[in-house]
């Protein structure tokens, strides 16, 4: 059975003091759902966040990593460095990384391989832009993003992959994909996985939706059969809102 997951992507928000304050607020929240809960602080706050949350049910994950083990890559962070501060899951392929840091499918393939080689679980993000949806190319775009970065993997490796469908037009815009649009795409993704691998593999993969998920819309989105949770941006920066989403299952 695939898992329900709610992950908060804090992006480039919160210095150390603000991170500590948010974690203190998170620890005051009650979880009533069965979802796996994760938060992704910025690199500088990973170590502290891991220590502060290690006795809780909240997993601390990273927002990005480099594919190389170490070396002359100024400003970058490797898989083994993440592991050394307790991180076991990394977000890769976020549309902000693709758009502002020129991350291509080819680069992401290397990052995915490096993470898996280091036993780090990957939350792999992808999603179409508004123009793709308007021209009815959204499925083609998503299929190629997944195919290019993941379909070289064996079926067994997919156990360590979580997919996150984040339509670019819905990120930080307040505009959410409708629950039906999310379900249609998630179903399409699962079918694409079944065609490439098999039904069992496809049914075992958690597919998260991301893009303006809020306490007010989470329940309806999560009620869809192929939506296994959410990757949450803005609403993850307030503990009450985040747990309202966690508990929307």
Q: Which is nearer to ligand 13P, 176 or 183 (CB)?
A: 176
Per rule CB under 6 A, is residue 61 in the interface with ligand 13P?
Answer: no
**CB burial readout 207-237, b (16+ within 10 A) else e:** bbbbbbbbbebbeebbebebbbbbbbbbbbb
List the x/- string, 82-101, binding to ligand 13P by CB under 6 A: ------------x-------
Phi, then psi, of 60 in degrees rounded to 5: -95, 125
With CB under 6 A as the contact rule, which of the stretches 47-55, 80-88, 100-108, 232-240 interacts with ligand 13P? Answer: 232-240
Residues between 121 and 180 that touch ligand 13P (CB under 6 A): 166, 171-172
41 binds ligand 13P (CB under 6 A): no
Question: Which of 213, 218, 227, 248 forms a contact with ligand 13P (CB under 6 A)?
Answer: 213
Active site residue 47: no
CB 130 within 8 A of CB 168: yes
Asked whether 76 and 56 are in contact (CB, 8 A), the reply is no
Is residue 94 flagged as an active site residue?
A: yes
Instruction: Tell me which of 36, 66, 94, 128 is the catalytic residue.
Output: 94
Q: How far apart are CA 57 and CA 174, in angstroms?
A: 29
Q: Does 212 bind ligand 13P (CB under 6 A)?
A: yes
Q: Which single residue brings its beta carbon nearest to ligand 13P? A: 233
Q: Report CA 213 to chain centroid distance, whole Å.
A: 13
d(Cα 234, Cα 246) in Å, to the nearest integer?
14
List active site positions: 94, 166
């Amino acid at each position: 059975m695939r898992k329900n997951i709610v992950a908060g992507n804090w992006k480039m928000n919160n210095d150390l003091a603000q991170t500590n304050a948010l974690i203190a607020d998170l620890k005051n929240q009650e979880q009533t759902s069965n979802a796996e809960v994760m938060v992704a602080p910025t690199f500088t706050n990973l170590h502290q966040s891991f220590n502060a949350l290690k006795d809780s049910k909240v997993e601390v994950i990273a927002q990005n990593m480099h594919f190389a083990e170490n070396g002359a890559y100024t400003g970058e962070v490797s898989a083994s460095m993440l592991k050394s501060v307790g991180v076991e899951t990394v977000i890769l392929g976020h549309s902000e990384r693709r758009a502002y840091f020129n991350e291509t499918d080819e680069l992401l393939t290397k990052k995915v391989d490096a993470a898996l080689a280091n036993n780090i679980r990957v939350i792999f993000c992808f999603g179409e832009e508004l123009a793709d949806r308007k021209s009815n190319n959204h499925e083609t775009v998503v299929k190629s993003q997944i195919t290019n970065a993941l379909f070289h993997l064996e079926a067994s490796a997919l156990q360590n992959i979580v997919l996150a469908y984040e339509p670019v037009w819905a990120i930080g815009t307040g505009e959410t994909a409708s629950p039906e649009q999310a379900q249609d795409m998630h179903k399409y993704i699962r079918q694409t996985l079944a065609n490439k691998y098999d039904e069992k593999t496809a049914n075992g993969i958690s597919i998260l939706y991301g893009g303006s998920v809020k306490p007010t819309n989470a329940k309806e989105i999560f009620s869809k059969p192929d939506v296994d949770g959410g990757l949450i941006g803005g609403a993850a920066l307030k503990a009450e809102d985040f747990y309202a989403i966690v508990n929307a299952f």
